[in-house]
Amino acid sequence: MSAVASEEIALHGHRVRFHRAGDGPLLVLLHGIASTADTWSPVVEALAARHTVIAPDLLGHGDSAKPRGDYSLGAYASGVRDLIAALGYDRATVAGHSLGGGIAMQFAYQFPERVERLVLISSGGLGREVHLILRAATLPGSELVLALLGGAWLRATGGALAGALARVGLKKGEDLAGVTGGIGSLADAGARGAFVHTARAAIDARGQRVSATDRLYLAADLPTLIVWGERDPIIPVAHGRDAHAAMPGSRLEVFAGAGHFPHRDAPARFVSILEDFVRTTEPAALAESDLTARLRAGA
């Protein structure tokens, strides 16, 4: 197993923390909202056996800076481009979980020449439905509620919070741990502000408001793997099945019994499938002109 190093770099004056491990073709791992690069800990060492793995704390998350600024998908995609360019890499297989999936798709849309393959894991941006917890985070006054939940009161009564979350469909295991950990990270005002701005950029009270479904045809020549937990309570598995149907040549893997974090529920299976996907596909060699041609053709 390859050792995982935690590193930092300054981009545009802001600190970005990231994990780096391994050697080989570049694999970039993008976490979800209120999460960090640590979500990949069950799989990163195994993936690093054949790849150079870069897993950042996205801006506004974890140990990266939390400036007052733009937390749209486009801004995040540009930040990923800047990170890999600053580290000396040109192209990558880009994998994203939840919000990270939406960022990965936006990255492929903005910078097609930099993407070799796309991996979407319980991805946002593929339909409207999303759990009530994330919709509630976009409502007026949500910052005050999150301040209470993320503060000392949460740490003192985490068991009560876990019980409440279980009653809205988050069962014991990685789903419950992921959501309670995310809420616990919001004790910091900067993290809280970044979370709310990020949520409101993609979600409103009715659900996800940013969708890539009308642009999936542009990825026809991009090898794409879609991974989902069959029992995902945050974003329904139907989104993955619909995306697979809309992307001829894509590969869909549904993990029976897994929830919103299939890479953590079944890490060995996840690594095996991702490695097989990379081994059996040729990296895309796309250019902006290819996207332009598809736009002009309208198909």
Distance between CA atoms of 123 and 103, rounded to whole angstroms? 9
Q: Taking the CB of residue 281, how many other CB atoms lie within 10 A of it?
A: 17
136 touches 142 (CB < 8 A): yes
CA-to-CA dists, residue 216 to 11, 249, 250, angstroms: 30, 12, 11
Catalytic option among 232, 250, 263, 265: 232
The answer to whether 122 is a known catalytic residue is no
Catalytic option among 2, 98, 122, 211: 98
Please report the DSSP string for 93-123 in residue order: EEEEETHHHHHHHHHHHH-GGGEEEEEEES-
- Coil, helix or strand at residue 53: strand
Structure tokens at 213: 């479904």
291 touches 220 (CB < 8 A): no
Distance between CA atoms of 270 and 281, rounded to whole angstroms? 17
Catalytic option among 19, 51, 97, 260: 260
Residues forming a β-bridge with 27: 53, 93
- Coil, helix or strand at residue 88: coil
The answer to whether 242 is a known catalytic residue is no
The answer to whether 98 is a known catalytic residue is yes
Provide the annotated active-site residues: 98, 232, 260
